[in-house]
Structure 1
Amino acid sequence: MKETAKEAARQRKIYMILIIILIIVLTVLGGGYYFMMQTKAASQKTSGKNSDDQSRTSQTSGSDTLEYKGGTYRYNDHLSNYLFLGIDTRNSVDTYQTQEDAGQADAIFVVSMDRATEEIKVLFIPRDSMTEIEVFNPSGKSLGESTDHINIQYAFGDGKQKSCELMKIAVSNLLDGLPIQGYCSMNMDGIPVITDFVGGVQITVPDNSLEDTYPEFKEGAVVNITGENAEKFVRYRDTDKTQSALVRQERQKTYLQALIQKAQEKAGEDAGFVADLYDSIKSYTVTNMGNDVFAKLLTASGNGITDTETVPGEGKQGKNFDEYQVDKDALSDLIISMFYEKIQ
């Protein structure tokens, strides 16, 4: 009986670490398939909506409730919200010191866990979302707030905790003050490390988005993905084309599916494999989330992800770069539906 209990505990630990790794991989890939599909869904939901003076939330003075479109709502205080970030830098995070080292957040999403129902929801935030961020000079002095791409907020930190804290504030502000209890970020060097650690993966190229630049990735070709070519396959995009970040999503889904399958096979063969895999990428991650948090995420993950959404808006060509113009009215609707409970 004791041996059975020990084995069950060992398996829980293995699966917990596997959940951590898969969440981080999804992060650094830029949200993958969920982002692509939810962007389409968000566009359909928000099309034809008009601005409404009542569409922004209004907190009732001295109360934990708010009035919204004729109803009264209370924040669901059973929720714990965690921010995940994929960063476009390299090398061990221990070497980072200044803004020059920090990089930008290539992928941004919030994982919301309901501790009462043990359900998980995910909210994706397009990296080019235009919002208020705090700007700092190179010596770290605040220059006030400016409307800019949310992903560059990370660049005004140190590439470690400060950058994550700045993103936590910017994301919370974008989401009408949503509480965020923790964060986890990972940089690009984690991709080849993970790929090589599982021994590489074999994929069938899903589309022709890479063929002109890399002929070996012709649509339908069966290719071995290793640490040497993994980043090329999952991250390359033609920056001269508007909204090109969305084009690579199908390749990322293909890679992630193959990686999960290979990792599961390896974990079945070697009980210590997943823990060793996690250890191999720790140098490229920054987090303030303890093992207890990931253990709770593990439990909740058994029920699957009950809802995946994207901050509603529209991608447009800006003066110099792509911009994602957030639909603030539709975003308020979404925040209410995901994080609040109607009480009357």
Structure 2
Amino acid sequence: MKRYDQAGKAKWLILVIAAGILLLGVILYAGGRRLETRSVEEARGDLTQTEAVETQEYNGVTYQRREGLTSILVMGVDHDSAVESEGAYQGGQGDFQRLIVIDPERQVIRQLKIDRDTMTECTVLGYLGSPIGTKEMQISLAHGFGDGKEESCEYAREAVEGLLLGESIDFYVAMNMDGISELNDLAGGVTVTLEDDFSSIDPAMTKGTTLTLHGDQAETFVRSRMTVGDGTNASRMERQEAFLSQLASQLGEKIRASEQFTADLYDALQPYLVTDMARGRIINETWNARAYTLEEPCQITGEHRVAEDGFTEFYPDANSIQQAVLELFWEPVETN
């Protein structure tokens, strides 16, 4: 299986962003695999019995698990939904990944950006397509193993859970790259001012022009790199974040205005999606979370390195991983 090619494969990056917007309020069940380092403090009482409160110590601070959370892994997959995967290694790379955690009690939605080049343990398959163990590789490659659908999503989820010290992820939503244009148009088209020149791809997309993106223009805006501006991935990421911000705003307005819009949106995108969430649950939870506060995403820090084969690898900092886990799933215990 080929590794992620920075020069040409960011096709789905927004598609996942898109799916993330669709499902920002879609986190459903509470749960979480226990961290190996945690301790359990049992509540005691003479007349009643209460459930144990999960706690752990970190840097001299006691943390307890937040209750009632739902977590969802949103992925953008470099794969055409109309093409069937061949064999156990053609699932398409999960090149965009973002973890979303919904907290109904506090009415907030937390997010974690996951660098697609993050080096972590991923499940690998043998020649007959069965798991034979794990290997450290870029996390985007985890989805490439399997059938390109549910099996691939499970491998991707396992890789993220391992990265996050064993925290379990309740659900996944993966969207194939050919859903970008559909999503943009369902939102009414995202309006942007072009800071770079895209006219070699689309004559209407000249530098300085303000226009509402429609159809393939949205894909051009979020995917193009080598022939646009300075050709760097950093510039492309800035465009993608700008697109995401505006897309989220427009979809949010439509969702808050009508519960039916969420149903229509899901039905339109369903051909491009792979998810283990039920349609009705997605619609209900999205509607319930429509007024929640969307917090700024956190991000794991670390070091980017260029490997001998020329591909980029991101080595996450262990303390940063721990901090991200605490921010998403735990809270400090208040002391009197």
- Return the TM-score normalized by structure 1: 0.72
Deviates more, 1:334-343 or 1:83-92: 334-343
Deviation at 1:78, TM superposition (A): 2.3
Partner of 1:288: 276
8 Å Cα contact 1:118-1:299 kept in structure 2: no
> What do you get for the CA RMSD once the two structures are aligned?
3.8
Is 1:321 matched up with 2:311? yes
CA contact (8 A) 1:28 1:188 kept: no
8 A Cα contact 1:107 1:127, kept in partner: yes
Structure 2 equivalent of residue 9 of structure 1: none
1:161 equivalent in structure 2: 150
What is aligned with 2:325? Answer: 335
Say if 1:30 and 1:106, in contact at 8 Å, map to a contact too: no
Paired with 1:118 and 1:202, the residues of 2 have a C-alpha distance of: 29
Aligned runs of 1:171-182 on 2, under 5 Å?
171-182=160-171
User: What CA distance in whole angstroms lies between the structure 2 residues aligned with 1:267 and 1:65?
Assistant: 37
3-state secondary structure, aligned to 2:292? coil
- Does 1:228 pair with 2:216? yes
Pair 1:219-2:207 in alignment: yes
Structure-1 residue corresponding to 2:46: none
Q: Following TM superposition, by how much is the alpha carbon of 1:76 offset from its aligned partner in structure 2, in angstroms?
A: 1.8
Aligned AA (1:104): Q
- Please show how residues 89-238 of structure 1 align to structure 2 within 5 Å: 89-92=79-82, 95-96=84-85, 98-196=87-185, 202-205=191-194, 207-208=195-196, 210=198, 217-223=205-211, 225-238=213-226
Q: 1:311 aligns to what?
A: 300
Do structure 1's residue 58 and structure 2's residue 48 form an aligned pair?
Answer: no
CA distance in 1 between counterparts of 2:142 and 2:256 reads 41
Comparing 284-293 and 181-190, the one that deviates more: 284-293
Describe the SS at the equivalent of 1:164.
helix
Cα distance in structure 1, aligned partners of 2:257 and 2:330: 44
* 1:25-53 superposed Cα distances (whole Å, 9 cap, x missing partner): 66246989xxxxxxxxxxxxxxxxxxxxx
Aligned CA distance change for structure 1 residues 218 and 324 (closer, same or farther; 3 Å) = farther
Could you give the per-residue CA deviations for residues 130-184 of structure 1, whole angstroms, max 9, x where no partner exists?
Answer: 1111111353122321111001000012111111111111111101111211111
**Is the alpha carbon distance of 1:269 and 1:340 closer, same or farther for their aligned partners in structure 2, counting shifts above 3 Å?**
closer
Residue identity opposite 2:196 in structure 1? N
Provide the secondary structure at the position in 2 that maps to 1:330: helix
- C-alpha change, 1:87 and 1:308, in structure 2 (3 Å) is same
CA distance in 2, matches of 1:331, 1:243: 30
C-alpha displacement of 1:214 = 6.4
Q: Provide the rounded CA distance (Å) in 2 between the counterparts of 1:329 and 1:269.
A: 42
Q: Distance in 1 between matches of 2:130 and 2:263?
A: 40
C-alpha distance 159-292 of structure 1, shift in aligned 2 (>3 A): same
Secondary structure, counterpart of 1:248 in structure 2? helix
Alignment check: 8 A CA contact 2:15 2:175 kept = no
Letter in 2 for 1:72: T
Paired with 2:55 and 2:191, the residues of 1 have a C-alpha distance of: 52
Higher percent of residues as helix: 1
CA distance in 2, matches of 1:322, 1:269: 43
Q: Is contact 2:124-2:134 (8 Å) kept?
A: yes
Match of 2:65 in 1: 75
In structure 2, the CA distance between the partners of 1:65 and 1:101, relative to structure 1 (3 Å rule), is same
| SS in structure 2 of the partner of residue 250 of structure 1 | helix
Corresponding residue SS for 1:81: strand
Please state whether the residue corresponding to 1:168 is helix, strand or coil: helix
Between the two proteins, the alignment pairs up a number of residues equal to: 295
- 1:309 deviates by 0.5
- Residue type matched to 1:59 in 2? R
Change (3 A) 1:138 1:211: farther
Instruction: Report deviation, 1:227.
Output: 2.0
Give TM-score, length-normalised by structure 2.
Answer: 0.73
What residue is the counterpart of 1:41 in the other structure? none
Moved more, 155-164 or 291-300: 291-300
Partner SS, residue 102 of structure 1: coil
| Contact preservation (8 Å) 1:126, 1:324 | yes
Indicate if the aligned counterparts of 1:96 and 1:102 stay in contact, CA closer than 8 A.
Answer: yes
Offset from partner CA, 1:183-209 (integer Å, 9 cap, x none): 11101110122345567555321x227
Give the match for residue 86 of structure 1. Answer: 76
